[in-house]
Chain A
Amino acid sequence: MRAPCSPQVRPPFAGVAEILYNNIKVKTMLNINEILETNAMIDRQHLDVRTITMGISLRDCSTDDAERTAAKIYEKVVTRAANLVRVGEEIEREFGIPIVNKRVSVTPVSEVAAASGDCDYVIFAEALDRAAKTVGVNFIGGFSALVQKGMTEADVRLIRAIPRALAGTERVCASVNVATTRAGINMDAVRLMGEAIKAAAELTAESGGFACAKLVVFANAVEDNPFMAGAFHGSGEPECAINVGVSGPGVVRAAIESVRGAPFDVLAETIKKTAFRVTRMGQLVAREASERLGVPFGIVDLSLAPTPAAGDSVAEILEEMGLSAVGTHGTTAALALLNDAVKKGGVMASGHVGGLSGAFIPVSEDAGMIAAARSGQLTLAKLEAMTAVCSVGLDMIAVPGDTSAATIAAIIADEAAIGVVNNKTTAVRIIPAPGRKVGDTVEFGGLLGSAPVMPTSGGGAEDFIARGGRIPAPLHSLRN
């Protein structure tokens, strides 16, 4: 190690230069424009950290007794996440940046519950729900199974328990991965999920099928996603990890408003710069949270996640690019540019970018999407095309209550095919709202917003879904 310099032996000018240099640094720290810009993003453009999600492994909670396993699950979550909400609120106050949600994701429950034998898995959902309430998180994700190639007995039990688990708990979210590019599509699981979604809707008919808003069917699910309802703590993850999801559709929209009419090159560059700033903020929050909680930092998920609030809409970004309404021709290209530029801008700003990173297009949670769906400009067919280039898939879509389980399964299969062939995550979160027909609106409230009931394509896929078995993995899965 070098000996520290003693000020006495330095030439006199060195000290002066240092003082000047330090002063210049101080001056640049007080750049009024930068400070005002940041605070305008927070105050007027809804810049926020959407979620700090703590991933917790439950693999050490397995026992051969369901009640004991449930008790261990509860203990583990309340111990690990005891300080999550407090630390989140502290960081929120210190940086002056809203942290909208504090959440927990856990090991897919079917893996933890398998040892408990033939029992009703609702007991584990109830344990998770109690734990979520004790630690004060608004959602806990991981009532999940990964069944892309086949289902264990535990997976089948979990899927069958999903409707009752979601109807009977408040904060538990479920997800099932039915396909991967490597394994193909498990069509038996797709069929079961169509039935599970229908059953979940029926059990919560009085709230418009609310349980379905907490249920995601994935293809190529990611193990470190911090966003609900699809968050779970994958088997390649550490004991505990902090994953942070940032957002900021309003910030991107405001930025591209300043380059109205400019060529796409300028547009893409502007989005990248904005995404960079937003991600840096997320990285800072993630690092702070990780240090204070003594939990390793996992990833920053840079997703443009809209909320129903005015000015916090992904649809409005697309419209600001020059589209009359989202859903018109040009929407897919606009979304592709947005999704790509967001990733490119964010990737340099964080040590580890992961999760779903891109642009979300949930219909009920985005004022622009709601308006376009209501006017008929945005259809299910166009949304499906958009999912080939957005970060996830068909999200928060309400369809008529008489839509059959087979049709829902077929919608899942289409979406999974897009994910599997394009090597990307896709998902379906669909609500067959009981008793509602096209033109009605289902109100979920809060961040989940309100969903106009959209028409499906008609026709039927009963015989297609009844086949069962697996759709083989595509040729490009053989990459070794």
Chain B
Amino acid sequence: MKAIVTVVGRDRVGIIASVSALLASLGINILDVSQTILDSYFTMMMLVDTSAAAPSFSELAAELEKAGGELSLSVRIQREDIFDAMHKI
């Protein structure tokens, strides 16, 4: 299943490294990355594939949120369909 991972937090060294390691440990494959700094906030969107991940989508979401909290980051995963539905005809 394709999904969008959104990472937002105060910018510092190593955010991409820690988030990528986290995704790898969960078996989530990164397909595309877009990242910028908005108002001094690190903002990253990733298109990922969760089909090789062992846990269910709900478990992934909970796991990412928890791990993100430990890193002082907001990390959320959502199925990409919602963005397609709202922004594409």
Identify the A interface with B (CB < 8 A).
26-27, 29-32, 34-39, 90, 93-97, 277-278, 280-281, 283-284
Task: For B70, list chain A residues within 8 Å (CB).
Answer: none
Q: Given A93-B57, A93-B58, A277-B86, are A284 and B34 neighbors across the interface (CB < 8 Å)?
A: no
In the complex, the answer to whether A281 meets B84 with C-beta atoms within 8 Å is: no
In the complex, the answer to whether B58 meets A94 with C-beta atoms within 8 Å is: yes
Min CB distance A409 to B, Å, is 45
| Count, A-B residue pairs, CB within 8 A | 72
Complex Cα gap A10–B39 (Å): 49
Q: B residues 73-89 with Cβ under 8 Å of A?
A: 76-87
In the complex, the answer to whether B82 meets A30 with C-beta atoms within 8 Å is: no
In the complex, the answer to whether B57 meets A284 with C-beta atoms within 8 Å is: no
In the complex, the answer to whether B87 meets A284 with C-beta atoms within 8 Å is: no
Task: For A39, list chain B residues within 8 Å (CB).
Answer: 6, 76
Q: Given A93-B58, A93-B61, A94-B58, are A29 and B85 neighbors across the interface (CB < 8 Å)?
A: no
Task: For A26, list chain B residues within 8 Å (CB).
Answer: 31-32, 47
In the complex, which of the residues B43, B57, B86 contacts A32, with contact meaning CB atoms closer than 8 Å? B43
Min CB distance B19 to A, Å, is 15
Complex Cα gap A35–B76 (Å): 12
Closest to B2 in A: A29
In the complex, the answer to whether B47 meets A32 with C-beta atoms within 8 Å is: no
In the complex, the answer to whether B82 meets A277 with C-beta atoms within 8 Å is: no
Q: Given A32-B36, A34-B87, A35-B4, are A90 and B58 neighbors across the interface (CB < 8 Å)?
A: yes
Complex Cα gap A96–B60 (Å): 12
In the complex, the answer to whether A35 meets B6 with C-beta atoms within 8 Å is: yes
Q: Given A29-B47, A35-B6, are A95 and B86 neighbors across the interface (CB < 8 Å)?
A: no
In the complex, the answer to whether A29 meets B32 with C-beta atoms within 8 Å is: yes
Known: A35-B4, A93-B62, A280-B85; 9 extra A-B contacts, CB below 8 A, are A29-B2, A29-B4, A30-B45, A30-B47, A38-B82, A94-B57, A94-B78, A96-B77, A278-B86
Task: For B79, list chain A residues within 8 Å (CB).
Answer: 94-95
In the complex, the answer to whether B80 meets A29 with C-beta atoms within 8 Å is: yes
In the complex, the answer to whether A31 meets B87 with C-beta atoms within 8 Å is: yes
Complex Cα gap A217–B76 (Å): 43
Task: For B78, list chain A residues within 8 Å (CB).
Answer: 94-96
In the complex, which of the residues A30, A90, A283 contacts B85, with contact meaning CB atoms closer than 8 Å? A283
Task: For B85, list chain A residues within 8 Å (CB).
Answer: 280-281, 283-284
Complex Cα gap A95–B77 (Å): 8
In the complex, the answer to whether B32 meets A281 with C-beta atoms within 8 Å is: no
Closest to B47 in A: A30
SS class, residues of chain B in contact with chain A: strand
Closest to A284 in B: B85
Task: For A36, list chain B residues within 8 Å (CB).
Answer: 43
Min CB distance B38 to A, Å, is 8
Task: For B2, list chain A residues within 8 Å (CB).
Answer: 29
Task: For A29, list chain B residues within 8 Å (CB).
Answer: 2, 4, 32, 47, 80, 83-84
Min CB distance B52 to A, Å, is 17
Min CB distance B65 to A, Å, is 10
Task: For B86, list chain A residues within 8 Å (CB).
Answer: 34, 38, 277-278, 280-281
Task: For B80, list chain A residues within 8 Å (CB).
Answer: 29
In the complex, which of the residues A27, A31, A96 contacts B82, with contact meaning CB atoms closer than 8 Å? A96
List of 6 A-B pairs having minimum Cβ-Cβ separation, nearest first: A96-B78, A284-B85, A280-B85, A34-B87, A95-B82, A277-B86
Q: Given A31-B87, A35-B45, A281-B86, are A95 and B81 neighbors across the interface (CB < 8 Å)?
A: yes
Min CB distance B88 to A, Å, is 8
Q: What are 25 A-to-B residue pairs whose CB atoms are below 8 Å? A: A26-B31, A26-B32, A26-B47, A29-B84, A30-B4, A30-B33, A30-B34, A30-B47, A32-B34, A32-B36, A34-B83, A35-B83, A38-B82, A90-B57, A93-B57, A93-B58, A93-B62, A94-B58, A94-B61, A96-B61, A277-B87, A281-B82, A283-B85, A284-B81, A284-B85
Task: For B6, list chain A residues within 8 Å (CB).
Answer: 35, 39
Closest to B3 in A: A94
Q: B residues 28-56 with Cβ under 8 Å of A?
A: 31-34, 36, 43, 45-47
Task: For B4, list chain A residues within 8 Å (CB).
Answer: 29-30, 35
Residue from the set B45, B47, B84, B85 with the largest chain A CB neighbour count within 10 Å: B85
Min CB distance A137 to B, Å, is 20
Closest to B58 in A: A93
Closest to B44 in A: A32
Complex Cα gap A95–B81 (Å): 8
Task: For A37, list chain B residues within 8 Å (CB).
Answer: 87
Q: Given A29-B47, A32-B45, A35-B4, are A97 and B83 neighbors across the interface (CB < 8 Å)?
A: no
